[in-house]
Amino acid sequence: MKELNTTGQIIVGIIVIIVIALYTPFYSLTQEIRNLITAATFLFGIFAGFIIASRLTRYSRYRELLTNETGSLITLYQYAKTIDDKYAKKIADAIEKYLLKSFQYEVYEYHEKTEPEFYNIFNQIREYRTSKKNEQMENQMFAMMRDMLKDREELFLLGKDRITFWLKTTLYMLSGAILLSLFLTRSPELYSNILVILLATSVFIVLFLIDDLDKLKLYSRAISYDLYYRVFDAINKERPKERRN
C-alpha cells in the first residue's frame, strides 16, 4: 500500500475536520474551554516555534552539506578526466554505484546505508597513482576526500538528530487539546464552523510541516534527486528513474 504524501494527508485531515465540524453536537462549556484553549495555544506556539526553528536550521545545514558532496563528486570526476579517460571512467562508475544505492533510502538515512559504495570511490582514487606530472592534482583530490569524510560524519549526525519522543508527544497532546477546545466552543452559526475548520486545519498543517522538516522532506525532490541528477549529467551517466513511495 502506497503511503500518502504530505499534501494527500493534509487533504484527508481537512475532510475529517469538516465531517467532525458538521456532525458533532454543540456544547455550552464556553468560559472554561476558552481558558483552556488560551493556555494550550500559548504552549503549542512556544513548542512549535522552537521545533520549527531548530528543524529549519538543521535542514539548511543538511542541504549545504549535500551540495558540498555533489560538488565534490563532480570535481573528483573532472580531475580524473584531466589525468586519464580510463581513470575517469572508473571514478564515474564508482560514483554511479554510490548514487544508485543512495536512491534506495530516505535522504536522512542513505549515508549510513551506503558506506561500502562511498569508500569504493576513494579506493579507486588511492589505487591509481601516476607520474609526478599529476602529483599536485592528485594531492588536491586527496584533500577533497578528507573534506568529504568530515562532511559525511556531520551528515550522519544530522540524520540522527530527530525530535525526541517526549517532545513530539507533548506537541500532539497540546494540539489535541486545541482541536478539542475549538470544537467545544463553536456555535451553530456558519461563520463559527468555518473559523473552527480553518483554525483546526492550521494546526494540522503546522504538525505536518514539523514532521516533514524532521524527516528532511521539505523540498525533498530538490535534495533527493535534482542535486544528484546534476552529478549523473556531469559524469555522463544516464539518470535513474525516481523512486516512488
What is the reported pLDDT for 2?
40
Copy the grid coordinates of residue 101: 544505492
Task: Please give the Cα distance from 139 to 6 (Å, whole number).
Answer: 45
pLDDT digits over 132-181, tens only? 666 777 788 888 888 888 888 888 888 888 888 888 888 988 888 888 87
Task: Report how far residue 26's alpha carbon sits from residue 240's, in angstroms, rounded to the nearest whole number.
Answer: 54
CA distance 128 to 22: 71
pLDDT at 3: 46
Instruction: Report pLDDT for 94.
Output: 92
All structural domains of the chain with their residue ranges: 6-234
Among the listed residues 158, 142, 141, 140, the one whose alpha carbon sits nearest the alpha carbon of residue 66 = 158
Grid cell, residue 161, equals 538528530
Contact of 67 with 79, CB cutoff 8 Å? no
pLDDT value at residue 110 = 76
CA distance 121 to 149: 12
pLDDT per residue as tens digits for the range 112-131: 788 888 888 888 887 776 55
Return per-residue pLDDT of the chain as tens, 245 residues. 344 566 677 777 777 777 777 777 766 666 666 777 788 888 888 989 999 999 999 888 888 888 898 899 999 999 888 888 888 888 999 999 998 888 887 777 777 788 888 888 888 887 776 556 667 777 888 888 888 888 888 888 888 888 888 888 889 888 888 888 777 777 777 777 788 888 888 888 898 889 888 888 765 555 566 778 888 888 888 887 765 44
Task: Check: CB of residue 240 under 8 Å from CB of residue 232.
Answer: yes
